[in-house]
Amino acid sequence: MTFKTDLSSVGATCVMKSEVRSKGAPEPIGPYSQGVDGGAVYCSGQVGADPSTGKLEEGVVAQTRRAILNLSGVLDAAGLGLGDVAKTTVFMVDLSEFAQMNEEYGRHFSPPFPARSTVQVGALPKGARVEIEAIAVR
């Protein structure tokens, strides 16, 4: 049996996806994109590494700040900003540093704040203390 579907009657649209690249964030260290624009922009996790040197900032506060600046660079390349972020996920190697991360995070986002999940993980790339990924909407 063969089915033929005509989605034009329901107003379906096809969304293309494209890679988002920014010099304002470190180059990927594996087979992934800094971000993908598919209507919403999906940003890969950013650690607190300076994009010009590749070196991690010292401590969870500085790494949180740098990770958010790196996310901002990716979003900027897609024509968006931190105010367009709808959801973040924060990965931390030690949740006892949550309050420090949370205070710095709060300096970069404003109401309505993005939805957020925070999880503790065993390890992060480059020995980072924190990694943040984001989804932004147009």
Q: Which domain holds residue 94?
A: 17-26+33-136
Residue 123's CATH number: 3.30.1330.40
Q: How many domains does the chain have?
A: 1
Asked whether residue 6 is domain-assigned, the answer is no
Asked whether residue 115 is domain-assigned, the answer is yes
Asked whether residue 68 is domain-assigned, the answer is yes
Asked whether residue 73 is domain-assigned, the answer is yes
Asked whether residue 42 is domain-assigned, the answer is yes
pTM above 0.75, yes or no: yes
Q: What is the pLDDT of residue 63?
A: 98
Asked whether residue 9 is domain-assigned, the answer is no
- As given in the structure block, the two tokens for residue 112 are 């309505």
The pLDDT tens digits along the chain (138 residues) read: 444 555 455 555 667 888 999 999 999 888 888 999 888 999 999 999 999 999 999 999 999 999 999 999 999 999 999 999 999 999 999 999 999 999 999 999 999 999 999 999 999 999 999 999 999 999
